[in-house]
A and B are shown apart, each in its own frame.
Chain A
Amino acid sequence: MTTVLRVVLILMSVLVLVVMLRKIRQSKARIEDSMFWVFFALLLVLLSVFPQIATWLSDLVGTMSTSNFIFLLMIFLLLVKSFSMSMRVSQLETKLKELTQKIAIDDNELEKRLSPENFHLAEEEEKMK
């Protein structure tokens, strides 16, 4: 790994850390969601400060150069992240759909109850109390 690449990686990591911590300060990101990025940034710092770790891992896996191994690692981590994001979007969309449908159905019932022709229903309810 060249010194330039190491410096770039460290600068990038620091940037990611700063941005992420700022988002948390501004209450724009949940702590759970920041963990991945903080971990990601720390990992990059670790690998740039101690390139021997990356070199050792690279030899172990058999990649042509240490920087190739770094790329591979980053691609892998991002793939995992994007997979989990995709799962979460699916779940969120399902929840959103359920809520939307519930709102519409509840509204419909409310409007029926409030409409003049069903006024006796409301009166009966009043009496029940």
Chain B
Amino acid sequence: MSNVLVVIPAYNEEENIERVVGNLIKNYPEFDYVVVNDGSKDRTAEICRRNGYNLLDLPVNLGLAGGFQAGFKYAWRNHYQYAVQFDGDGQHRPEYIRAMREKISEGYDIVIGSRFVTKKKPKSMRMLGGNMISLAIRFTTGLKIKDPTSGMRMFSRKMIEEFALSLNYGPEPDTISYLIKQGAKVTEVQVAMDERTAGVSYLNPVNAVKYMSKMLFSILIIQNFRKRDKRFKRKTGGNEG
């Protein structure tokens, strides 16, 4: 058994899932994985079963946060040291997981697979959103996260526990910001990402604006009022309060 679990949330990914998981199994057998089928309406679960993939089949759709958490509960139960959040649509590349594991074993809690550590950010509308979230995180925590919206992140064992067992721990920049404030050690590793090859992206302009405002509101206001569960406080030596 590997000490790294790749958590692959999938919602209506029948066109991608076979390629993504197949690649992982064939070329990266040193990592364990679990596909979380988030109540897909298409044949995602069927394809996984036919191929004998390790599958968590949620009977109803919970949304990304719920599916992600199910995967982390699995990781927690099965004693994995590290867990990676990995998209089921093929935009993340597994060859960077090794580098992320090396980095996290230096003692970090969260390692973000970032597109812009060494590479420059292109100036586009899409990047504007990421920049604003970066700025908000920097403003509230003092830490510069260059790619906060990257969906490829690796978490340590104590983070796995916290994400698995608590409420309001979505795999989003606001949770990261909150955890940095609480004393979690977060860093970034340069990765490259692919464009999604099949299926439809959730990211249209309306959703992007909604997402952005929710994140900014959450990071700048709501996260300041959260109280952390005592269980987790001592583990990261976080601030009081």
Which residue numbers of A lie inside 8 Å of B, CB to CB? 94, 96-97, 100-101, 103-105, 107-108, 111, 115
Question: Which single member of B52, B70, B77 contacts A100 (CB below 8 Å)?
Answer: B70
Known: A101-B58, A104-B56, A104-B57. 18 other contacts (CB 8 A): A96-B62, A97-B66, A100-B59, A100-B66, A100-B70, A101-B56, A101-B62, A103-B59, A104-B36, A104-B58, A105-B56, A105-B74, A105-B77, A108-B54, A108-B55, A108-B56, A111-B55, A115-B52
Contacts of A111 in B (CB 8 A): 55
Question: Would you call B177 an interface residue if the criterion is a C-beta within 8 Å of the partner chain's C-beta atoms?
Answer: no
B123 to A: closest C-beta gap in Å: 39
> Quick check: B167 and A105 within 8 Å, CB to CB?
no
Interface residues on B, range: 10 to 19
- Complex CA–CA separation, A107 to B77 (angstroms): 14
B47-91 interface (Cβ within 8 A of A): 52, 54-60, 62, 66, 69-70, 73-74, 77
- Complex CA–CA separation, A101 to B34 (angstroms): 13
- Complex CA–CA separation, A100 to B71 (angstroms): 12
> Quick check: B54 and A105 within 8 Å, CB to CB?
no
Nearest neighbor of A97 in chain B, beta-carbon distance: B66
> Quick check: B59 and A101 within 8 Å, CB to CB?
no
Nearest neighbor of B52 in chain A, beta-carbon distance: A115
Which residue numbers of B lie inside 8 Å of A, CB to CB? 34, 36, 52, 54-60, 62, 66, 69-70, 73-74, 77, 167
Contacts of B62 in A (CB 8 A): 96-97, 100-101
> Quick check: B59 and A104 within 8 Å, CB to CB?
yes
Question: Which single member of A94, A100, A115 contacts B58 (CB below 8 Å)?
Answer: A100
> Quick check: A101 and B57 within 8 Å, CB to CB?
no
Question: Which single member of A94, A100, A103 contacts B167 (CB below 8 Å)?
Answer: A94
- Complex CA–CA separation, A103 to B56 (angstroms): 9
Q: Which of A97, A101, A111 has the most CB of B within 10 A?
A: A101
> Quick check: A101 and B55 within 8 Å, CB to CB?
no
A25 to B: closest C-beta gap in Å: 31
Contacts of B36 in A (CB 8 A): 104
- Complex CA–CA separation, A104 to B60 (angstroms): 10
Q: Which of A94, A100, A104, A105 has the most CB of B within 10 A?
A: A104
A-B contact pairs, 25 of them (CB 8 A): A94-B167, A96-B60, A96-B62, A97-B62, A97-B66, A97-B69, A100-B59, A100-B62, A100-B66, A101-B69, A103-B58, A103-B59, A104-B36, A104-B56, A104-B57, A104-B58, A105-B56, A105-B70, A105-B73, A105-B77, A107-B57, A108-B34, A108-B54, A108-B55, A111-B55
